[in-house]
Amino acid sequence: MDMTKRPRRLRGGMTLRKMVRETRMDKASLIYPMFVVEGEGVRREIPSMPGQYHYSLDMLPAALEEVARSGVSSVMLFGIPEKKDEMGSSAWAADGIIQRALETGKRAVPELYYITDVCMCEYTSHGHCGALCGHDVDNDRTLPLLARTALSHVQAGADMVAPSDMMDGRVAAIRRILDENGYTETPIMSYAVKYASAFYGPFREAADSAPAFGDRKTYQMDYHNAKEGIKEALLDVEEGADLVMVKPALSYLDVIRRVSEKVHVPVAAYSVSGEYAMIKAAAVKGWIDEAAVVCEAATSVYRAGAGVLLTYYAKELAKFMDEGRIG
């Protein structure tokens, strides 16, 4: 048998396999999500997300230092306020939980890069992502609230803002208010392609952001649609998004691929709470090798076309990269 072409030749040893890898990752591409709450002395594990915690401001520096030591250089902050109202006014308050978390973090661990989630759902009494008109979210009334929130985050020290609300036109509104206030260099990472997904369940417990009625299907995307995701991403880039995100990650690898082929900005993906919780639950049962599955799942996201990964496994992935298990 004439076998001059043998693909196995390039699989003979670790050095060679790493040399010819098509998909490469590094720690600089990882973002670690964190939840900040009011109070003192709070480092409370989130029941549906083992290994993830709520941190009060006094406990935040130690947690941020741990992230920095792992080699992860970026964090995404989510705030859970003490008080909520119908408009979510604590989202843009100068003394709001995220604003104070930024001040604390920048002072304690200035070497980290601080990204903030810009949305209203954690701050509204009804749990929806904007101002209401009856039981519907009023898109256009919500835009100035999101813009005001983003500006307050940047004024408090955010290096990047990441609107996750899925209101039409919010990137343009945020870009405009940042530019008008002299923050022309602050980038926007838009949650451009965010699906109405069942995989968000644990996050809604963590962020206390479940809607009090109805669901978010009138503004988050229908998971049957992929071409619509390209439209959303292209619109956000046109409005001034510097990066676009696909969320969730693992069930939407095809969308990541399609978006990455159409836009000319970096593409991020968010491996969400439900994905994390499923891996954790199976690992606890002994049904999977947790580390191996985490590495394989993360690689699939990069292979699909993402260049940035938000993941609750960021610190572990950084360790696996150091060990040569992934990357």
Contacts of 200 (CB under 8 A, 6+ apart): 248, 272, 273, 274
Active-site residues: which are they?
194, 247
Q: What is the DSSP string of 137-200?
A: E-HHHHHHHHHHHHHHHHHHT-SEEEE-S--TTHHHHHHHHHHHTT-TT--BEEEEEEB--GGG
d(CA 118, CA 164): 6
* Cβ neighbourhood burial of 303 (10 Å; 0-12, 13-18, 19+): middle
- Provide the token pair at 280: 């954790």
Contacts of 178 (CB under 8 A, 6+ apart): 150, 151, 154, 161, 184, 186, 188
Instruction: State the DSSP H helix or E strand holding residue 14, giving kind and residue range, or none if neither.
Output: helix 14-19
d(CA 200, CA 205): 9
d(CA 31, CA 165): 19
